[in-house]
Chains A and B, each alone.
Chain A
Amino acid sequence: MTNHWVDIRNANLILSMGGNSAEAHPVGFRWVMEAKEKNDARLISVDPRFTRTGAVSDFHAEIRTGTDIAFLGGLINFLIETDQFHHEYVREYTDASLIVREDFGFDDGLFTGFDAESGSYDTETWHYEHDEDGFARRDETLQHPRCVFQLMRAHFSRYTLDVVQSVCGTPRHKIERVWNMIAETVVPDKTMTILYALGWTQHSIGSQIIRTAAIVQLLLGNMGMLGGGVNALRGHSNIQGLTDLGLLSNLLPGYMQLAGSEEQDYQEYIAERARAPLVPDEVSYWRNYERFHVSLMKAWFGEAATEENDWCYDWLPKLSVNLYDVLHTFERMSQGEVNGYFCQGFNPLAAFPHKEKVTASLSNLKYLVVMDPLSTETAEFWKNRGELHDVDPSEIQTEVFRLPTTCFAEENGTIVNSARWLQWHWGAAPPPGEAKPDVEIIAGLFHRLQAMYREEGGPFPDPILNLTWPYRRPEEPRPEELAREYNGWALEDVYDENQNLICGRGEQVGDFGTLRADGSTACGCWLFAGCWTEDGNQMARRDNSDPYGIGMTLGWAWAWPANRRILYNRAGARPDGTPWAPNKALVWWNGSRWVGADVPDFPVTSPPSAGLGPFIMNQTGRGQLFARERMVEGPFPEHYEPFETPVANNALHPNNPLSKHNPAARVFEQDRENFGTLEEYPYAATTYRLTEHFHYWTMHARLNAIMQPEKFIEIGETLANELGIEKGDRVRVSSKRGHVDAVAVVTKRIRPLQMGDRTIHQIGIPIHWGYLGETKKAQLTNALTPFVGDANTQTPEFKSFLVRVDKL
């Protein structure tokens, strides 16, 4: 979230799209109700299903799954053409005025540089035009035909009401109503917040849906504002923390990146990331990349990391492909290219698409290690469960280890919620039997490997032999020690530019500004610097006072970065440093510094007259309407159909087969053959969660099993009538890849969509229930889902695919 849970109460309009927070984030959703009750806010729900969020909304609009870019692209066109965008904000705080290269273009669904053979783009032209000093050219009047504003306007001009209706299937009057309600928040004293979740990410165009939302919020001046923002309501309790700590194939802690195999030179690696401003004098905070990187290397490799060896640059693995994401890894596993796999608190058999492929892949492993507090389907993938999971154990040669771990109630530590709050918790009881904390298991494996490399040798043992291990009991590192390490400390006295001592040797650093690129500081995650300072554990703070009465409890826990609760909050004030509106005051310039209810997201002594842009992480200092080369399928979002779609072609490019689906998506050969056709599988399906269950975990909790005991699917009344299905009937839902049997819930909540002369039906399929635990046994929903991901992140397309439904 750019903003935070309690801040939702400051919104005047809440757009819930790509999420159903009433059901999936119920307690957070109480702040939506608070906004409605106390702030006279209105709630809009746009969803394929009439959900519990829809049920308490002021307005609900149904939409075909996977068409959100069309809906929001139409909104962008509407806001521009009816002149309902925030002129001053757009001019001053976004890159609207920057001029794009002359050779950049877009034609029939494809941006310049597309190579059909490899299915990828050469992004050379996706850049601003530079002047002699390397800065982007600008036109503050926004009239230049190649300024970002005019290009954006032309790009979205195709998204007319008629086109949007024909793509989304939403009735015209509903689209217009939603657009009008949203446009009302263009005034400075009204803000809209956007709440989304996996309903936006789990598409082959997921990242671009979110980009479209960000453009809308920039046009309306809602970023950095109280009650504004683009708010990802993340799925799991610490998925934010794991992302922040970089537990992804290509990342390092704090959103730093591993080098690609071509990046053999350390200085070039740093220069590529420590990017200089593209507009004169802007902050471009990533300029400090090397400080964060060297501090990380010092935290991991200690004395072994020196300037002479480029701080152990070659000790980190380099990437031969962009991502070794889970789809890529399971594809390789299915080809027999992976021998070992660890699942730490993760149940891929249930959680990854195309379960049959996942089963076959796991069967190719030599060894599988599952670390979990609970019994999972993955750990028992070799067990025959009849028609629920039909395998032959004697043919599966995988050696499987299942290691019992503690759960949250049995250990100390932090988790990071959606609002970026690091909250410390304490264990209350020992785990069952011999279960151990994950940290001890990792330590146990690591020490054994270290001993083997010491005794037997082996390829490149240096990082293993030299990894720092500054823990009092090496076999049981304590969470407190690990938290102090990712906060970071000074290895030498650290001075500021005026030679004042700011952090003594051995002291915890107070913030990431203290970190140095000369090896004098160690820090495991620069973004978390400040969470455990010389004043102790800031994440354990419990002062819930709210001095400004706007829900800003800065003394409760600790938020990254720097305990800031609303990102980009400088944009919440006018260019002259005064709040946009009295009821939206958040941070402001008091004549000598930035002050207010939040920690300013800005150099605190930089006066408004200096004119620095508020988006200090960007090279332009501005919100990016134009993504440049940062998105693989283009600098502007474009609607592409899901890989399994209930329509014959992409209404925006009916004659170009290359732009029917996301042109830059990665599809493996075998998976392309496993896509179903509209003729065989005529209905659009989407998966979702229920309020009573959390994925496959609560199948094991009795109370939740009692509340929702049995697998069901949702089907609209019209279609059910056509198929002769009555409520309570057992049905089989099938895709090209598999089937699940479930009870049919026949409902008014899913309406058929009228698109031209066609009627499109959608089926709702909860992801829950499996064949372990306390609930009634069922097949896993991911037997159905397609093996294709978002082109940028490779998040699987769980939200849009094709099925058929048969009565059993």
Chain B
Amino acid sequence: MTLRVTRRQFFKLGAAGMATSSMAMMGFAPEPAVASIRHFKLTAAKITRNNCTYCSVGCGVLLYSRGDASINNVDDIFHIEGDPDHPVSRGSLCPKGAGLLDFVKSRSRLSHPMVREPGTDEWKRISWPEALDRISRHMKDDRDANFVGQDEQGNTVNHWVTTGFLAASASSNETAYLTHKVVRSLGMLAFDNQARV
């Protein structure tokens, strides 16, 4: 279903007012043109297979990153495009998927644990150990104070409903599975994800 066009038609189409770069993103590029772009721009890239994590079509994406795995070198993703082998998306991405790089690199990405103390108006940076120590202390105190072993009818219920947990629908199965396992071991019931919303 990819539109087959020759290189010449491709540039004509481009001249007709549609940006060729966005056409390439949408999967309408002629193979030779794509091949030559790749050859020059991306030869040194590492290509990693992934999927768009916006909607549930699950389009295949290829992450292009630089970095040679040497010790002082950090990999950096610099380009994301559709995976042409993917049987559903066949190289296409929609306007959401086409902007994935700007999500990965967004200025709003968080980089350090923060805390906002009660009644204050600012974030304060804290270390991971401090953050996890303080949070787990809160959890322990709340569970200890409010865990219900038996309800008023004398039924064993073993639940803890004064702390709740919302899980993320863009997180992986593996994250979800471990989250579920831990949450239930604590006896939590106020547990949900975007499926109900």
Contacts and interface: CB of A to CB of B under 8 A. Distances in A.
Nearest to A399: B118
B13 interface: no
A261 B155 contact: yes
Contacts of B58: 237, 415-419, 421, 423
Interface in A645-700: 691-694, 697-698, 700
B144 to A, nearest CB: 5
Interface string A525-557: 100100000000000001010100001010010
B104 interface: yes
A317 B164 contact: no
A409 interface: yes
A697 B53 CA distance: 11
Interface stretch (B4-12, B33-41, B127-135): B127-135
Contact of A346 (B87, B96, B193): B193
B156 A318 contact: yes
A430 B75 contact: yes
B158 A426 contact: no
Contacts of A328: 190
A605 interface: no
B115 A524 contact: no
B149 interface: yes
B17 interface: no
Contact of A402 (B114, B117, B128, B158): B114
B43 interface: no
Contacts of B60: 423
Interface string B133-162: 111111110111011010101011111111
Interface string B99-118: 11111101111111111111
B119 A697 contact: no
A700 B106 contact: yes
Interface in A324-347: 324-326, 328-329, 332-333, 337-346
A551 B192 CA distance: 35
Contacts of A371: 168
Given A30-B1, A324-B161, A340-B139, A248 B112 contact: no
A344 B167 contact: yes
B158 A408 contact: no
A404 B92 contact: no
Given A442-B182, A702-B102, A794 B196 contact: yes
Contacts of A429: 63, 65, 67, 74-77
B192 A704 contact: no
Contacts of B103: 407, 697-698, 700-701
Interface in B30-65: 46, 48-60, 63, 65
A247 B179 contact: yes
B133 A320 contact: no
Contact of A317 (B56, B65, B187): B187
A395 B119 CA distance: 6
A700 B107 contact: yes
A595 interface: no
A346 B166 contact: yes
Interface in B154-197: 155-182, 184-197
Interface in A115-146: none
Nearest to A244: B173
A422 B194 contact: no
Nearest to A418: B56
B52 A237 contact: yes
- Pick the most buried of A250, A415, A419: most chain B CB atoms within 10 A of its CB: A415
B187 to A, nearest CB: 4
Interface in A198-246: 233-243, 245-246
B168 A415 contact: no
A237 B94 contact: no
A78 to B, nearest CB: 32
B77 A393 contact: no
Given A400-B115, A445-B135, A417 B56 contact: yes
B159 A375 contact: no
B162 A340 contact: yes
A448 interface: yes
Interface stretch (A20-28, A96-104, A159-167, A185-193): A20-28
A434 B54 contact: no
B111 to A, nearest CB: 3
A373 B51 CA distance: 17
B170 A237 contact: yes
A383 B50 CA distance: 36
Contacts of B194: 235-236, 239, 242, 346, 351
B131 A403 contact: yes
B24 to A, nearest CB: 15
A317 B189 contact: yes
A481 B75 CA distance: 24
Contact of B106 (A5, A24, A374, A446): A374
Contact of A248 (B100, B179, B193): B193
A319 interface: yes
A242 B195 CA distance: 8
A448 B132 CA distance: 8
A772 to B, nearest CB: 7
B141 to A, nearest CB: 9
Contact of A459 (B48, B59, B149): B149
- Pick the most buried of A239, A427, A556: most chain B CB atoms within 10 A of its CB: A239
Contact of B155 (A264, A453, A697): A264
B17 to A, nearest CB: 17
Given A399-B116, A401-B134, A339 B50 contact: no
B145 to A, nearest CB: 8
A439 B103 CA distance: 21
A318 B196 contact: no
Contacts of A418: 56-58
B19 interface: no
A427 B76 CA distance: 11
A154 interface: no
A412 B49 CA distance: 10
B187 A460 contact: yes
A213 B171 CA distance: 30
Contacts of B174: 412-414, 439, 477, 479, 482-483
Given A402-B110, A407-B53, A459-B144, A393 B170 contact: no
Contacts of A261: 151, 153, 155, 157
Nearest to A404: B110
A25 B56 contact: yes
B23 interface: no
Contact of B57 (A5, A396, A441): A5
A393 B189 CA distance: 30
A49 to B, nearest CB: 19
Given A409-B50, A697-B54, A414 B172 contact: yes
A253 interface: yes
A339 B180 contact: no
A386 interface: no
B197 A795 contact: yes
A24 B55 CA distance: 7
Contact of A467 (B94, B98, B136, B181): B181
Contacts of B197: 326, 351-352, 795-796
Given A439-B174, A692-B95, A700-B103, A394 B189 contact: no
A412 B98 CA distance: 21
9 contacts: A237-B55, A328-B190, A393-B119, A397-B119, A439-B174, A459-B143, A524-B177, A703-B98, A773-B106
Top 8 A-B residue pairs of the complex, sorted by shortest distance between their CB atoms: A433-B111, A345-B168, A413-B172, A417-B58, A404-B110, A26-B94, A317-B159, A340-B163
Interface of B: 1, 46, 48-60, 63, 65, 67, 74-77, 80, 85-89, 92-104, 106-121, 123, 128, 131-140, 142-144, 146-147, 149, 151, 153, 155-182, 184-197
Given A236-B170, A245-B176, A429-B63, 17 more contacts: A26-B57, A237-B56, A240-B56, A243-B195, A249-B191, A340-B142, A346-B167, A394-B121, A417-B57, A422-B173, A524-B177, A697-B54, A698-B103, A700-B108, A701-B100, A773-B106, A795-B197
